[in-house]
Structure 1
Amino acid sequence: MTVELCAVAAPDVPWDELDRSPDRTIGQSRAWLDFLAETQGAVPLLARVVDDGSVVGWFTGATVRRYGVPILGSPLRGWTTGPMGFNLSREVDGRALLAALTRFADHHRCAHVEVMDRWHLPDPPYPSRYRPDRLPGYRLDLRPDNDALLGAMSTMARRNIRTAQARGLIVEEVEPADDPDFARRYYDMVTTTFERQGLAPPYDVDRVRSLIRHLHPTGRLLLLRALAPDGTVVAQGLFPGLPGSGAGFWMGASRAEHHHLRPNEALMWRAITTWRSRGASWFEFGGGGAHKAKYGGTPEEIPWLRASRFALLEAGRNQVRRRVRRLQVRNARG
């Protein structure tokens, strides 16, 4: 079995057709790649997947240079981006896909490649060049009706959603033009949350603004805010998604002094029901954390594989991660 990746220029990619694929993710969309181009300096790199002469799918990634080293990410850590990888019209051997990806990265002179894909990567053991990570999380099937979704949640989650309603909390969708302070307000909230842990956010407010600017006009970003009975904004969240495929939680934050109003559960419930009504098939909760189990999703671990042409790059990658962590602590201390 011979699998190859054949690069295609962005204007020649059938974006609308691909966005209707059931295995499509928002991170593979053109708007998300524009977001990565603006915030990461990432250059989109897309390819047809060809198996024994037939086109059977697509690969979506982007290239960057870090410390002078060309890297192919699908995605990379630090991009605040979920799974990318492949869209396939039929099953393809996962090891053959990885071998093709390695050749593709080498052809484009990328010394390091990373890929996270929920559906199409092989089970371990992986090829020797690849080192595995896994992104834990929860995925909720949105095909049941709202009553069934609510019933699948924990008793505490259902109680908190009802408590929010009883205490007068209002959750509303936001149009950026009507609330130009949405990004700054959210960022102030999330900064306070990080500071309580002795850290600083690993991204700046401009990244939030960029996501809103690129995604919201496409109808693929839901912005929500929760208001206390006196009109104070007490929580906000950003929830991207694709009708016919998946939606999920990107980022959110709330004010600790208003947690008695249970805004976090109310925001999440509104996001789940809104994306279900818009045709999303499933909802993911943005990584792991035992507190997310209460929403009734199924635990999952998404493979995130990386391969470096030179062993020194792996050591350098780990050093950069440690440096970023130290910088978060230093920034939090001012």
Structure 2
Amino acid sequence: MPRFELVTLDSQEWAKALAAFPDRIVFQTPAWLAFLAESQGGTPVLAALRDGNDTLGYFAGCVVKKFGLKILGSPLRGWSTPYMGFNLLPTVPRRLAVEALSEFAFKTLGCIYLEVTDAHLKLEDLTGLGFSHEMHGTMEVDLTQSEDVLLSRMTKSCRWTIRKGEKNGVVLEEASDAGFADDYAAQLKDVFAKQGLMPHYGAERVRALIKHLHPTGMLLLVRARDAEGHCIATGIYPAFGRVAYYIGGASWRQYQKLYPNELVHWYGLRYWKQRGMEVFNMVGTMDFKRKFGGEETTAPMIYKSKYRILTQLRSAAMPVGRAVLRSAYRLKNIGKRRETDSAE
């Protein structure tokens, strides 16, 4: 029976080991693990899946503490990290890795809960192993197609807004400065405000992402400006191996009439296509992401607790968390109105 063994590899050693696996993605790289360590205050974990003297693959994740209890995420929700999971030799079934994971998480690491999203997992890999799951969908664009074909597969309105953005004088630039984090965070706050919500992270996380990822060449940051030079939209696109991802985009509502968002996204698609990426993962299925002509795919987010009650509490916590965010936003606005009234 294969088992996971905790391994200690420095950044260069892990990068070399990772390069041998066709299923490698940016969220498993040394740079991304360093980003998670800083932004989540956790401890990166690497484990080798071994069967006797043979190494069948690896697992990458991060252990964090909540109320003094250890939790293993690969990833956890809210990390700005849609996938992690396993790197396995092509002949190794993923079920073997899932089967070995519980003992590693609960006994070797001493965690009470684990959560994994691996883009290559299938439901049949989980049968009878005691994991709960939620299916997560996304849209994937085939970047091996020509730009003309990519455009033809978009909706008519998407092509129109790209052309309209160009005609409106929207100028795009590749960013690398720390100021990008402030631009993006401010615009993201405006996006969430439209829905009566508040974002769960701010500029500090984006600064950490830029710090660890941008020097590696695995991160594209796009900034859109209007004719007067105002930053009106931003986009964040990491990539590695064969897949690029859209993990964040925002814009000021007052400038959306200039149609910067689709133009920013089209730039990101072409940028990574030109650099050899084969797939562009939209990380979600909302209407904006559907209009770019991708194919919908799904993967299970799996989770398991050492104690059953924790799984039940987790399921109940999600709607509560959303309600708390909405309440916080409303209370903040009430406070601002009271300050304004007092000033008057």
> Shorter-chain-normalised TM-score: which range?
over 0.9
TM-fit CA distance, 1:300? 1.1
TM-fit CA distance, 1:128? 4.8
Percent of pairs identical after alignment?
35
Superposed counterparts of 1:258-297, under 5 Å: 258-297=255-294
- Give yes or no for contact 2:28–2:60 (8 Å, CA) kept in 1: yes
Alignment match, 1:3: 2
Matched, 1:247 2:244: yes
TM-fit CA distance, 1:96? 2.2
- Give yes or no for contact 1:5–1:104 (8 Å, CA) kept in 2: yes
For structure 1, the 5+ residue unaligned runs are: none
- Give yes or no for contact 2:190–2:253 (8 Å, CA) kept in 1: no
TM-fit CA distance, 1:35? 0.9
Moved more, 120-129 or 83-92: 120-129
Moved more, 55-64 or 8-17: 8-17
- Give yes or no for contact 1:48–1:58 (8 Å, CA) kept in 2: yes
Alignment match, 2:313: 316
Superposed counterparts of 1:33-52, under 5 Å: 33-51=33-51
- Number of corresponding residues: 329
The Cα offsets for residues 118-161 of structure 1, whole Å up to 9 and x where unpaired, read as: 11455266335200112211111111121221122111111111
Superposed counterparts of 1:221-240, under 5 Å: 221-240=219-238
TM-score by length of 1: 0.93
1:30 & 1:326 partners in 2: Cα distance?
35
Alignment match, 1:300: 297
For structure 2, the 5+ residue unaligned runs are: 333-344
- Give yes or no for contact 1:235–1:255 (8 Å, CA) kept in 2: yes
2:123 & 2:55 partners in 1: Cα distance?
20
Moved more, 84-93 or 10-19: 10-19
The Cα offsets for residues 184-239 of structure 1, whole Å up to 9 and x where unpaired, read as: 12111111111111111011221111111111111111110111122221101111
1:277 & 1:103 partners in 2: Cα distance?
43
- Give yes or no for contact 2:140–2:282 (8 Å, CA) kept in 1: yes
2:183 & 2:62 partners in 1: Cα distance?
30
User: Amino acid of the residue matched to residue 205 of structure 2?
Assistant: R
Superposed counterparts of 1:174-185, under 5 Å: 174-176=175-177, 180-185=178-183
Alignment match, 1:135: 136
- Give yes or no for contact 2:99–2:129 (8 Å, CA) kept in 1: no
Alignment match, 2:200: 202
Alignment match, 2:339: none
1:16 & 1:145 partners in 2: Cα distance?
32
Change (3 A) 1:52 1:91: farther
Superposed counterparts of 1:95-106, under 5 Å: 95-106=95-106
Change (3 A) 1:264 1:129: same
Describe the SS at the equivalent of 2:114: strand
